[in-house]
Amino acid sequence: MLLIPYHAAQAFNTWGELNYITFSPNRPISSLIVFLSPYYMPLMFLLAGMSTNYALKKRTYRQFVLERIKRLLVPFVFGTIFLCPLLAYLGDKNNYGYTGSFLAHYRIFFTKWTDLAGFDGGFNVGQYWFLYYLLVISLAGIGIVALVSLVTKKKTFEGNIPFPVLCLFVIPLPFLYDILSVGGKSFAEYLYVFLIGYFVLAGDEMIEKCAKYRYLTLTIGLIACCANVYMFIWSGEKFGIANTIAKAFAEWFMILSLIGVGKKSLVLTGKVTAYLSKRSILFFSLHFIGIVLFQMWFAKLFEGNPLLLYAVPILPAYVATFLCSEIAARIPLLSFLMGSKAYTVKRKEK
């Protein structure tokens, strides 16, 4: 659900990065991105590591790999071929004044190779970077797990280490940010947190420790997040190493706090969470197009009022994304290509 407000805010960033549509820089709106970004995606990779631990209790390595290919590679290829060209077309149109048709732009998409961001109309993978990162990291992670299991004779692990030692896992993070980094996204960083999720935090005892110390880690994480936002957005100066350290503390301690808070307060069941779980991959695939289109349509109406220009397109983008997700869910082939299970109607037994 954070995807839409997060990506809507990128159009207002203060660090000069293009977006599929770009507005005047705005520091309060940009602060939302910088506040969330240290831990937003790393948390997803850590949860993926934890989920892999549970998955391997019921699956062989081969079954796990085949499932990852089906759930990640298929929607990645489909999205790159059919959805990312539309984002690239919008980027070229909004940022460089492209006047040709969408179909004519298809050739540009597959022949123009720049920084892979796509904001200039060139080839890009959009939000699908997450899927190919997760696929590569899952395969690399499973390889590491297989090597460890050869030595230990165990396929799954449930670590139990003292909480102060767990806090020290923050130390390597600043050194990993620039290793195997593509577009500011580090394979090394995400593999690191994936493996922590698998080897350390998948066990109930460690999750309970996160829950026990959740207020402490949340306090440290929020202070680090605020320091990161101040140094990067508001100070007007470059803090270098200090800013990197603040980012690392924000990442790690917010992850620990959210695992703990989730254990105590976010164990949600019911129709709403079941529905959101089923639609998550469809929502992920379709949300970016929705927010960019509505920002385009409201651009002139709210010109000069960044708060309204940011906030107003969000609601119709939610509605449109969920509506399109429902349509996609009811088309079996499209559901499969987008990595989701097809919609089924449960019939009551007589």
Where in the chain are the domains?
A: 3-266, 268-350
Query: Between these two residues, 220 and 116, which has the higher pLDDT value?
Result: 220
**For residues 143-163, average pLDDT:** 83
**For residues 116-140, average pLDDT:** 91
Looking at residue 11, the DSSP 8-state letter turns out to be G
Residue 270 has pLDDT above 90, yes or no: no
Give tens-digit pLDDT for 325-342: 999 999 999 999 998 876
**For residues 265-294, average pLDDT:** 90
How big is the CA angle at 34 (ends 176 and 197), to the nearest 5 degrees?
A: 45
Look over the chain and give the mean of its residue pLDDT values, rounded to a whole number. Answer: 91
Pairwise CA distance, residues 326 & 335, whole Å: 10
Residue 348 has pLDDT above 80, yes or no: no
Q: Closest by alpha carbon to 11, among 319, 313, 316?
A: 313
pTM value surpassing 0.75: yes
Looking at residue 83, the DSSP 8-state letter turns out to be T
**For residues 73-91, average pLDDT:** 94
Q: How far is CA 191 from the centre of its chain?
A: 14
* Per-residue pLDDT at 288: 95
Confidence of residue 183 (pLDDT cuts 50, 70, 90): confident
**For residues 257-282, average pLDDT:** 88
* Per-residue pLDDT at 264: 85
Only one residue has tokens 């997450």, namely 130
**For residues 68-93, average pLDDT:** 93
Q: Longest C-alpha distance within the chain, in Å?
A: 71
> In the chain, what percentage of residues exceed pLDDT 90?
76
> In the chain, what percentage of residues exceed pLDDT 70?
96
Which residue blocks in the chain are alpha helix, DSSP H?
A: 3-9, 27-55, 61-68, 74-82, 84-96, 102-111, 129-152, 163-167, 173-176, 187-199, 204-212, 214-229, 241-265, 271-298, 306-311, 314-329, 332-337
Residue 343's DSSP bridge partners are none
Q: Closest by alpha carbon to 338, among 183, 127, 137?
A: 127
Confidence of residue 350 (pLDDT cuts 50, 70, 90): very low
Confidence of residue 346 (pLDDT cuts 50, 70, 90): low
Query: Between these two residues, 172 and 238, which has the higher pLDDT value?
Result: 172
Q: First CA to last CA across the chain, in angstroms?
A: 38
| Strand 185-186 with 181-182, pairing | antiparallel
Give tens-digit pLDDT for 221-259: 999 999 999 999 999 888 889 999 999 999 999 999 999
Across 204-243, b (16+ Cβ under 10 Å) vs e yields: eebbebbbebbeebbebbeebbebbbebbbeeeeeeeeeb
